[in-house]
Amino acid sequence: MTILTFFIEPSGALCGQSRVPGDKSISHRAIMFGALADGITTITGFLDGEDCLATLNAFRAMGVVIAGPDQGRVTIHGVGLHGLQAPAGPLDLGNSGTSMRLMSGILAGQAFDSVLTGDASLTRRPMRRITEPLTLMRAQIATGEQGTAPLQIHGGQRLIGIDYPLPVASAQIKSGLLLAGLYAEGMTRITEPAPTRDHTERLLAGFGYLLRRDSERTVAISGGGHLTATPLDVPADISSAAFFLVGASIAPGSDLVLEHVGINPTRTGVIDILRLMGADIEILNPRLAGGEPVADLRVRHAPLHGIRIPEALVPLAIDEFPALFIAAACAEGVTVLTGAAELRVKESDRIQVMAEGLNALQIAAGATADGIVIQGGTLAGGTVNSHGDHRIAMSFAMAGLRASGPIRILDCANVNTSFPGFADLARDAGLKLQEQA
């Protein structure tokens, strides 16, 4: 793995117009649905990052013919729900938890055995939360002793539908079970404790598969149908836009427009939270792209204040909290987050790593069991270890807009998993960022 350090000098404002890469969650799912559909699916706006390429290469390894990506365009020759072939060896999913949890559901319904593995970070992440409900569906999946990858999936099982209340709000678990439900006898019904991103449900409908919504938080699917290929336009990723939303909010003189950003209501928690803190964010030209709501977002500097973040918004901003913690560090007063224990089992323990990084920059931040307490103040320069977590690295890069001295961020190579080209785009907008190998 390449060793990469970000070095950020105190910067000015973020200005102009930018388009961040395609939505990672949708890009993953687009590959999966296109591969399992009947017919040819053409994707535009695909995120050409390492995580999504891991999904794409896994399906190539199972006999799916995929052309691209070429400037965000991918063409998939679908093989149907039962057309995948046994891979020659383990499927290496790199750093991608989304790939592993969703593909567990798909592979549980195949006729062949398979093994899912990944890098050192992924093989530490909890997988029993998906393997246990799949076992209730009569899948046979073996994990490591700690409930982690590699996952050994024994094919040829006759899956049955289940009625499953999710113990934690997780779009990945919900999606993995819905995908297994495509192969199950009877109905699979999933109830969430709180709403999570609904890209899987939207894509199922877009590919012509009947889905039933029994209530706001309960979705049901019956096996035995088929998916029909359809063209897809992937919007820009709001999780990637979040770094720039925060950066422009905290940096005096900023006026930045982010183009064609997905504003799916299950993903806009970051906008809602920033607005509660006083951010100036306008939603311009709202429209639909491939069944997903998109818009241009204009963000200008505004003085922020600390808040107690509503727990109802936590699942709608779960990936954006590292960036939001930087906003809290620059806000007047105290920001309190609770109900976010899920952050401790991401690519890193994002609560602890962010608290340590903020402390290194002279911001008072204390980790709690399920959240953090941040006292806004003046960011100093210093050295931060991202622990290989792409969102940690990009968040602290934006802190350079307000820091009194240079910030050095260690272990940044994994930024390419979700946001290839981040450094160039950030520099174009006004961030004084150098990459040091």
Percentage, residues of the chain above pLDDT 90: 93
CB atoms within 10 A of CB 304: 23
Is residue 397 a contact partner of residue 433, using CB atoms and an 8 Å limit? yes
Distance CA 379, CA 248 (A): 16
- Residue whose tokens read 């900023």: 254
Judged against a pLDDT cut of 90, whether residue 346 lies above it is answered with no
Distance (Å) of CA 215 to CA 1, 177, 221, 268: 46, 18, 13, 21
The CA angle 308-309-315, to the nearest 5 degrees, is 160
The better pLDDT of the pair 5, 145 is held by 5
How many CA atoms lie within 13 Å of 329's alpha carbon, on the beta-carbon side? 33
**pTM of the full predicted structure?**
0.90
DSSP 219-247: EEEESS---B---EEPPBPHHHHHHHHHH
30-46: average pLDDT: 97
SS3 131: helix
pLDDT for res 216: 85
The better pLDDT of the pair 346, 391 is held by 391
pLDDT for res 137: 98
Percentage, residues of the chain above pLDDT 70: 100
Q: Report all structural domains of the chain as residue ranges with CATH numbers, in order of start.
A: 5-22+235-436 (3.65.10.10), 24-233 (3.65.10.10)
Token couple for 113: 């055995």
How many CA atoms lie within 13 Å of 335's alpha carbon, on the beta-carbon side? 31
238-272 residue pLDDT tens = 999 999 999 999 999 999 999 999 999 999 999 99
Judged against a pLDDT cut of 90, whether residue 178 lies above it is answered with yes
Judged against a pLDDT cut of 90, whether residue 392 lies above it is answered with yes
Q: What's the chain's average pLDDT?
A: 96
Q: Which residues, 6 or more positions from 202, have their beta carbon under 8 angstroms from its beta carbon? A: 264, 291, 292
Distance CA 421, CA 49 (A): 9
179-222 residue pLDDT tens = 999 999 999 999 999 989 999 999 999 999 999 998 889 999 99
Question: Which residues are part of the catalytic machinery?
Answer: 319
Closest alpha carbon to 164 in 154, 178, 152 = 178
How many CA atoms lie within 13 Å of 132's alpha carbon, on the beta-carbon side? 10
Residue 290's pLDDT band (boundaries 50, 70, 90)?
A: confident
* Burial call 186-208: b when 16+ CB within 10 Å, e when fewer: eebbbebebbbbbbbbbbbebbe
- Residue whose tokens read 């450094």: 423
Judged against a pLDDT cut of 80, whether residue 420 lies above it is answered with yes
408-419: average pLDDT: 92
Judged against a pLDDT cut of 70, whether residue 1 lies above it is answered with no
Q: Which residues, 6 or more positions from 57, have their beta carbon under 8 angstroms from its beta carbon? A: none
pLDDT for res 303: 98
Q: Quote the crossing angle between the two packed helices 321-329 and 269-276, to the nearest 10°.
A: 10
pLDDT for res 159: 98
SS3 190: strand
- Residue whose tokens read 């000098």: 9
76-120 residue pLDDT tens = 999 999 999 999 999 999 999 999 999 999 999 999 999 999 999
Burial bucket for residue 214 (CB in 10 Å: 0-12, 13-18, 19+): exposed
